């Protein structure tokens, strides 16, 4: 059911005549019946082989990074494709990384910034979307048209004026400078409005008859009904903010304020050969999001699917 | 316990942690306009990585030990344009670090633009650093409109390192361990062939690929040795292109074993004995010393053409502009820098020639080898052309290196490289000076 | 294609029902005009401050000599910046690089994603693993992508050349040879970002109604036949959207190139966004950088409109 209401991008998309659960059960049951796959054993084996091959190709680079992080620096900069280092595996790189103060600082910054951006974006976008969808304030058509048109403006072309603006506001090298420009997400307003448009109005009418004001209706009727789409938007915004590079890179020069992607690639440690250490730092820097993905795979996949096409 | 409930448990833990983190992060949102900076630490930006970085760390720690209450937070940024871009952006933003390292050749692009604040010489003298104890030439270059905007720490030339044993066997060393003089580029190439035959697997190496400075350093060194025209004072560059082409060809021939090597790879090739000779910054001396020990020899860049010359620059300490500097922090910054510069002898162990003259004239310095062997490089130094866009870590050097790289790597001709260089220089000359 | 008409009709009915709601709502919601403003204001404030205002500031700056240092006083210079931009070979070269990168990446990023999604959609056991493998790299911060691939690409000691050596092939200067650098960057980009398109395709595949396949199977269509005449036609709309999004994303490339090659060798990979960054922040010329931004913006708008045109024609 949720996937049905979660698809604002395809309001008129043909749906399966079968309940989704039935389809799923059949897909995962022993007798695989699949729309585009033959039933014989050969196609299945070939498919499995192709999948395995691509998986290996896609995992090897990351695996190499993990492998390197457990090597000594000498082995890490040795030539060739040796997965098993001569001097054996070691935790040295991780120990050194933990000894230096920067990584935790960046991780905290990343969390603070991503959480703030996500919270503010979801809040203001949902409110605006509700206004566009359900109220008739003067100028809403024009404003909504401007909002939708602005999806075409890539924020990347605004780095120069935005930096100039932050200079004028005396905000360069503050959290505010990193966060504020990132909370403007017209695409998310668009997605949320489309979703709100699809919510039956009877429910709101009932609440209104009970004497609820606009805010009350929004808070206790619309928002609870929109939980899946709000989660989807939040996840999408969070991932994008967590990995955003260009704007945080430009708006922060103080290493104490950098996010993980910026700090890892800008600030250098002072040792000579450092492949193992930098790999270890990289692994640590990417683990949080990977764990979150493994635990919430279904939700994240759904989020990307519903917001991705309308997103940045 | 079933897998499902373990998963549920984990999920619960993550939800809990997530909620806690979010709550604290959101409360952080409330104070987003503030900057997180501790009051009693001074911020110090450097571009020193490798052994230099280690040594600077040690020196900073020593200063902290000597001066009670002084705390320094060091940040190392990626050397080159990224460093200078960040420094300029931080200074323009007015929340810059308290002290930073800068190349003296870059001063012209920073001081006139109001990105730096001048030093207080009396305060420095109070902490034991007198102007007359610093290298005169460097002090002269640190002035802008009569005000001192930089305190020089060292000079750091581009030099040659070699493996004494292999070079001796190939007959490239004189009796007293000096490099034999090269009569001409052709002669040099012949000797290098000899070296390849008698030595290891590779001839001289030079790491330059995707580097934003090395190619230019080598070119500028060799071109300066020819004494040919390289005039950037007019609207268009006047450059002796034929000589430049010859120089690029010679560079490519001389270092043909390291066509695609980047700096790290070349360093590794020399340090692990695959090559007996490297054209390198003296700043990597400690890396070589660690593996070659007493076999390590050094020399200023040999004179291949008409006159001695070697590209060089100087690390200096500057006060990036701050909107409302705290006098107490400024005082500490002066104290820190005075102490740092006076530790010149320690700094010399990494390879640099200290700007603090009492250090250079000390007997301990004479005993430092190979440092004292290439100290003569300070006498033949050439700095970047005196234009606003040049200098270490500038876009100019990046453009020159990117033009040179394909020719050194063998994928394009020397002439096309020189043509690209000249057209890039003309593009830069045509731009208005923004500083 | 008779089978498609039923859901289409159903969809049409659905949308007209919604329209009915809207009309009904309109009549008794006039009183909440004030509340509407209240709801819209926070977003509109941010929207104005950090999108509309910068667009204005940027446009203004593009006509001045504004500089990052104290000396850039922002005097009006008329159209000088634009005149310089159109005559600046670097602008054209970096624009060319950007377009070349977009061409190199869009096709594989759509095709590989499609193949991945089709393979995973077969319902092979191990769904969780496949999705993790193909999508996880998308979650890596660019700094990690840079660290991993700069190790793999090392000409002398890297793993890729190490692997080539096993097969007796000479090492390639992946990032330092002008011939290969952009291809290498495209390869990294494919590895890094294909997962996103993969998920979009996977979702689109799951939305294809099963009865279409059932009908096709009853008509005796084999696996390949079903792929060609049911699956792929049903994915046309999604493919169009993914391609449009991909072109826009590729045009805005900066991160991985800036970190891996700094735009080198010899500017062969420098994208226009890096030129804007270099001009504005490394060379302090904020005014000129703004003008270059607007030239680039112009290109993006033209492309967007062109894509919209092509796309809407295909829809008809």
What is the distance between the alpha carbons of residues C70 and C67, in angstroms, rounded to a whole number?
7
Instruction: Give me the pLDDT at residue C9, please.
Output: 38
Cα dist from C27 to A191, B88, C31, whole Å:
25, 58, 9
The secondary element (H helix, E strand) that includes residue B148 is: strand B147-148
Instruction: Give me the pLDDT at residue C7, please.
Output: 39
When scoring B32, B86, B90, B210 by the number of chain C Cβ atoms within 10 A, the one with the most, hence best to mutate, is: B210
Chain centre to alpha carbon of residue A215: 29
What is the distance between the alpha carbons of residues A264 and C144, in angstroms, rounded to a whole number?
8
When scoring C6, C31, C147, C301 by the number of chain A Cβ atoms within 10 A, the one with the most, hence best to mutate, is: C147
- A10-19, A114-123, A291-300, C95-104: segment of lowest average pLDDT: A10-19
- What number is the average pLDDT over the span C105-121? 94
What is the distance between the alpha carbons of residues B252 and B262, in angstroms, rounded to a whole number?
14
Rounded to 10 degrees, the C-alpha dihedral B54/A65/C145/A250 comes to: -30
**Residues with Cβ < 8 Å from C129, sequence gap 6 or more?**
A55
- What number is the average pLDDT over the span A228-257? 90
List chain A residues with CB under 8 Å of C34: 137
What is the distance between the alpha carbons of residues B296 and A101, in angstroms, rounded to a whole number?
36
Q: Which residues numbered 143-172 in A keep a CB inside 8 Å of some CB on C?
A: 143, 147, 150, 152-165
Nearest to A47 by CA among B12, C223, C57: C223
DSSP B248-314: HHHHHHHTGGGTT--HHHHHHHHHTTS-SEEEEEGGGHHHHHHHHGGGEEEEEPP--SSS--EE---
Average pLDDT of chain A, as a whole number: 81
- What number is the average pLDDT over the span C84-107? 93
Nearest to A197 by CA among A130, A111, A266, A268: A130
Please answer whether residues C314 and C240 qualify as being in contact, where contact means their C-beta atoms are separated by less than 8 angstroms.
Answer: yes
Instruction: Give me the pLDDT at residue A39, please.
Output: 60
What is the distance between the alpha carbons of residues A12 and B287, in angstroms, rounded to a whole number?
67
What is the distance between the alpha carbons of residues C151 and A64, in angstroms, rounded to a whole number?
9
Measure the CA angle with vertex C218, ends C212 and C222; round to 5°: 85
For B85, the closest of C65, C155, C281 (CB atoms) is C281
For B35, the closest of A174, A271, A273 (CB atoms) is A174
Residue C63: pLDDT over 90: yes
When scoring B12, B35, B283 by the number of chain A Cβ atoms within 10 A, the one with the most, hence best to mutate, is: B35
State the pairing for strand pair B116-117/B315-320.
antiparallel
DSSP C38-88: HHHHHHHHHHIIIIIHHHHHHHHHTTB---SSTT----B-TTHHHHHHHH-
Measure the CA angle with vertex B134, ends B129 and B139; round to 5°: 110
What is the distance between the alpha carbons of residues B58 and B60, in angstroms, rounded to a whole number?
5
What is the distance between the alpha carbons of residues A295 and B10, in angstroms, rounded to a whole number?
8
Nearest to C138 by CA among B67, B357, A304, A279: A304
Could you give phi then psi for residue A130, rounded to 5 degrees? -65, -45
The secondary element (H helix, E strand) that includes residue B163 is: strand B158-163
State the pairing for strand pair B116-117/B277-281.
unpaired
The answer to whether residue B398 neighbours chain C at the CB level (below 8 Å) is yes
Nearest to A39 by CA among A26, A22, A24, A50: A26
The answer to whether residue C70 neighbours chain B at the CB level (below 8 Å) is yes
Please answer whether residues B230 and B385 qualify as being in contact, where contact means their C-beta atoms are separated by less than 8 angstroms.
Answer: yes
The answer to whether residue B268 neighbours chain A at the CB level (below 8 Å) is yes
The answer to whether residue A257 neighbours chain B at the CB level (below 8 Å) is yes
Please answer whether residues B172 and B188 qualify as being in contact, where contact means their C-beta atoms are separated by less than 8 angstroms.
Answer: no
Question: pLDDT grade, residue A16 (50/70/90)?
Answer: very low
- For B354, the 3-state DSSP assignment is strand
- For B154, the 3-state DSSP assignment is strand
List chain A residues with CB under 8 Å of B10: 295
The secondary element (H helix, E strand) that includes residue C23 is: helix C2-28
What is the distance between the alpha carbons of residues B43 and B47, in angstroms, rounded to a whole number?
14
What is the distance between the alpha carbons of residues C205 and C212, in angstroms, rounded to a whole number?
12
Chain-chain contact of B409 with C265 (C-beta, under 8 angstroms): yes
For chain B, list residues with pLDDT below 70. Answer: 1-39, 199-200, 434-435
Instruction: Report the residue of chain A nearest B58, measured CA to CA.
Output: A270
The answer to whether residue A282 neighbours chain C at the CB level (below 8 Å) is yes
Measure the CA angle with vertex C235, ends C234 and C240; round to 5°: 130
> Residue C27 class from Cβ within 10 Å (0-12 exposed, 13-18 middle, 19+ buried)?
exposed
What is the distance between the alpha carbons of residues A230 and A245, in angstroms, rounded to a whole number?
24
Nearest to C65 by CA among B387, B390, B426, B432: B432
Look at chain C and count its residues.
316
Please answer whether residues B232 and B425 qualify as being in contact, where contact means their C-beta atoms are separated by less than 8 angstroms.
Answer: yes
The answer to whether residue A304 neighbours chain C at the CB level (below 8 Å) is yes
The answer to whether residue B94 neighbours chain A at the CB level (below 8 Å) is yes
The answer to whether residue A268 neighbours chain B at the CB level (below 8 Å) is yes
- B255-264, C169-178, C243-252: segment of lowest average pLDDT: C169-178
Instruction: Give me the pLDDT at residue B207, please.
Output: 92
Measure the CA angle with vertex B145, ends B139 and B151; round to 5°: 30
Helices C89-121 and B414-430, axial angle in degrees (round to 10): 110
> What are the tens digits of pLDDT across the range A255-265?
888 999 998 88
What is the distance between the alpha carbons of residues B28 and A120, in angstroms, rounded to a whole number?
13
Instruction: Give me the pLDDT at residue A2, please.
Output: 32
Helices C286-315 and A159-168, axial angle in degrees (round to 10): 130
Instruction: Give me the pLDDT at residue B38, please.
Output: 57
Instruction: Give me the pLDDT at residue C257, please.
Output: 94
Nearest to A309 by CA among C199, C234, C316: C199
Could you give phi then psi for residue C112, rounded to 5 degrees? -65, -40
> What are the tens digits of pLDDT across the range A144-165?
999 999 988 888 999 999 998 9
Chain-chain contact of B262 with C176 (C-beta, under 8 angstroms): yes
What is the distance between the alpha carbons of residues C232 and C205, in angstroms, rounded to a whole number?
9
Half-sphere exposure of B197 (CA within 13 A, CB side): 9
B296 strand-pairing partners: B163
Please answer whether residues A226 and A190 qualify as being in contact, where contact means their C-beta atoms are separated by less than 8 angstroms.
Answer: no
Measure the CA angle with vertex A9, ends A305 and A11; round to 5°: 125
Question: pLDDT grade, residue A14 (50/70/90)?
Answer: very low
The answer to whether residue B29 neighbours chain A at the CB level (below 8 Å) is yes
List chain A residues with CB under 8 Å of B78: 265-268
> What are the tens digits of pLDDT across the range C12-57?
444 444 444 444 444 344 445 578 888 999 999 999 999 999 999 9
What b-and-e string marks burial along A28-59, b requiring 16 or more CB atoms within 10 Å of the CB? eeeebebbbbbeeeebbeebeebbeebbeebb
Chain C closest-CA separation from residue B397 CA (Å): 12
Q: Record the tokens describing residue B123, joined without a space.
A: 């305060």
Question: pLDDT grade, residue C5 (50/70/90)?
Answer: very low
**Residues with Cβ < 8 Å from B199, sequence gap 6 or more?**
B163, B166, B167, B169, B170, B275, B276
**Residue where the block lists tokens 């990979």:** C269
pLDDT above 90 covers what percent of chain B? 39
Could you give phi then psi for residue B76, rounded to 5 degrees? -105, 120
Chain-chain contact of C147 with A279 (C-beta, under 8 angstroms): yes
């Amino acid at each position: 059911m949720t996937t049905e209401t979660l698809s604002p991008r395809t309001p008129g998309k043909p749906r399966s005549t079968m309940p989704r659960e039935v389809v799923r059960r059949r897909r995962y049951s022993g007798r695989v019946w699949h729309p585009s796959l033959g039933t014989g054993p050969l196609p299945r084996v070939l498919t499995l082989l192709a999948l395995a091959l691509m998986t290996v190709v896609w995992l090897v680079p990351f695996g190499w990074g993990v492998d390197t992080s457990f090597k000594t620096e000498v082995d890490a900069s040795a030539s060739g494709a040796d997965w098993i280092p001569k001097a054996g595996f070691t935790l040295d790189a991780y120990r050194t990384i933990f000894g230096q103060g920067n990584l935790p600082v960046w991780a905290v910054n990343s969390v603070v910034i991503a959480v703030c951006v996500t919270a503010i974006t979801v809040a203001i976008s949902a409110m605006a979307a509700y206004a566009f969808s359900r109220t008739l304030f003067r100028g809403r058509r024009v404003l909504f048209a401007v909002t939708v048109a602005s999806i075409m403006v890539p924020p990347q072309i605004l780095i120069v004026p935005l930096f100039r603006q932050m200079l004028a506001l005396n905000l360069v090298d503050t959290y505010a400078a990193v966060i504020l420009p990132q909370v403007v997400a017209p695409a998310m307003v668009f997605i949320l409005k489309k979703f709100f448009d699809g919510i039956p109005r009877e429910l709101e009418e009932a609440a209104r008859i009970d004497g609820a004001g606009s805010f009350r209706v929004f808070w206790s009727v619309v928002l609870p009904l929109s939980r899946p789409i709000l989660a989807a938007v939040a996840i999408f915004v969070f991932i994008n903010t967590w990995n955003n590079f260009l704007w945080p890179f430009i708006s922060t020069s103080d290493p104490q304020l950098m996010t993980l992607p910026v700090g890892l690639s800008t600030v250098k440690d002072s040792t000579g050969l450092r492949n193992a250490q930098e790999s270890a730092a990289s692994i640590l820097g990417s683990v949080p999001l990977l764990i979150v993905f493994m635990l919430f795979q279904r939700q994240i996949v759904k989020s990307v699917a519903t917001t991705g096409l309308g997103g940045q | 316990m079933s897998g499902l409930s373990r998963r549920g448990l984990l999920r619960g833990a993550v939800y809990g942690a997530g909620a806690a983190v979010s709550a604290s992060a959101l409360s952080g949102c409330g104070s987003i306009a503030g900057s997180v900076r501790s009051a009693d630490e001074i911020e110090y930006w450097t571009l020193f990585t490798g052994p230099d970085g280690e040594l600077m760390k040690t020196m900073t720690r020593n200063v902290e030990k000597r001066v009670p209450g002084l705390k320094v937070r060091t940040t190392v940024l990626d050397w080159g344009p990224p460093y200078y871009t960040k420094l300029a952006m931080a200074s323009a933003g007015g929340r810059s670090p308290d002290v930073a390292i800068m190349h003296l050749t870059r001063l012209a692009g920073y001081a006139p633009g109001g990105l730096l604040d001048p030093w207080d010489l009396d305060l420095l003298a109070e902490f034991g650093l007198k102007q007359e104890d610093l290298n005169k030439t460097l002090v002269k270059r640190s002035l802008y409109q009569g005000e001192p905007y930089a305190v020089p720490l060292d000079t750091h030339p581009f030099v040659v390192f070699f493996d004494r044993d292999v070079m001796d066997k190939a007959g490239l060393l004189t009796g007293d361990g000096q490099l034999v003089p090269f009569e001409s580029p052709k002669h040099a190439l012949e000797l290098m062939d000899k070296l390849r035959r008698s030595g290891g697997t590779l001839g001289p190496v030079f790491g330059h690929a995707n580097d934003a400075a090395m190619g230019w350093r080598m070119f500028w060194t060799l071109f300066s040795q020819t004494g040919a025209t390289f005039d950037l004072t007019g609207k268009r560059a006047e450059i002796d292109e034929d000589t430049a082409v010859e120089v690029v060809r010679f560079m490519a021939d001389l270092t043909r074993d390291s066509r695609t090597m980047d700096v790290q790879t070349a360093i590794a090739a020399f340090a692990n004995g695959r090559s007996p000779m490297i054209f390198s910054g003296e700043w990597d001396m400690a890396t070589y010393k660690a593996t070659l020990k007493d076999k390590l020899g050094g020399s200023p860049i040999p004179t291949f053409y008409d006159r001695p010359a070697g590209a060089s620059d100087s690390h200096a300490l500057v006060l990036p502009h701050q909107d409302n500097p705290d006098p107490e922090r400024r005082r500490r910054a002066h104290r820190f820098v005075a102490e740092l510069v006076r530790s010149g002898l320690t700094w010399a162990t990494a390879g640099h020639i200290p700007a603090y003259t009492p250090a250079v004239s000390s007997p301990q310095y004479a005993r430092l080898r190979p440092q004292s062997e290439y100290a003569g490089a300070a006498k033949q130094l050439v700095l970047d052309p005196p234009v606003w866009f040049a200098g270490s870590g500038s876009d100019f050097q990046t453009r020159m290196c990117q033009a040179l790289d394909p020719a050194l790597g063998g994928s394009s001709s020397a002439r096309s490289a020189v043509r690209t260089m000249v057209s890039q220089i003309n593009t830069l000359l045509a731009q208005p000076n923004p500083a | 294609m008779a089978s498609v008409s039923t859901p289409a009709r159903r969809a049409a009915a659905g949308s007209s029902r919604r329209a009915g709601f809207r009309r009904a709502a309109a009549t008794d919601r006039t009183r909440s005009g004030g509340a509407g403003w209240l709801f819209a204001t926070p977003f509109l404030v941010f929207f104005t401050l950090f999108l509309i205002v910068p667009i204005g500031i940027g446009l203004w700056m593009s006509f001045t000599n504004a500089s990052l240092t104290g000396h850039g006083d922002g005097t009006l210079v008329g159209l000088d910046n634009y005149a310089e931009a159109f005559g600046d070979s670097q602008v054209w070269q970096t624009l060319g690089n950007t377009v070349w990168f977009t061409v190199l990446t869009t096709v594989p990023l759509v095709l590989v994603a499609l193949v991945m999604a089709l393979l995973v959609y077969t319902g092979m056991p191990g769904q969780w693993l496949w999705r993790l493998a193909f999508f996880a790299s998308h979650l890596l911060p660019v700094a990690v992508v840079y660290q991993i691939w700069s190790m793999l690409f090392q000409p002398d000691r890297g793993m890729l050349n190490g692997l080539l050596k096993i097969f007796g092939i000479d090492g390639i200067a992946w990032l330092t040879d002008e011939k290969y650098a952009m291809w290498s960057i495209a390869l990294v980009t494919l590895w890094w970002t294909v997962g996103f398109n993969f998920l979009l395709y996977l979702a689109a595949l799951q939305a294809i109604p099963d009865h279409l396949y059932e009908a096709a199977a009853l008509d005796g269509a084999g696996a390949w036949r079903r792929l060609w005449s049911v699956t792929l036609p049903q994915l046309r709309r999604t493919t169009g959207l993914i391609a449009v999004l991909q072109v826009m994303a590729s045009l805005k490339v900066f991160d991985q190139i800036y970190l891996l090659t700094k735009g080198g060798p010899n500017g062969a990979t420098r994208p226009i966004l890096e030129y804007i960054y270099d001009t504005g922040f490394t060379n302090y010329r904020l005014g000129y950088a703004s003008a270059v931004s607007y030239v680039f913006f112009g290109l993006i708008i033209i492309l967007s409109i062109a894509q919209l045109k092509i796309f809407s024609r295909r829809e008809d």
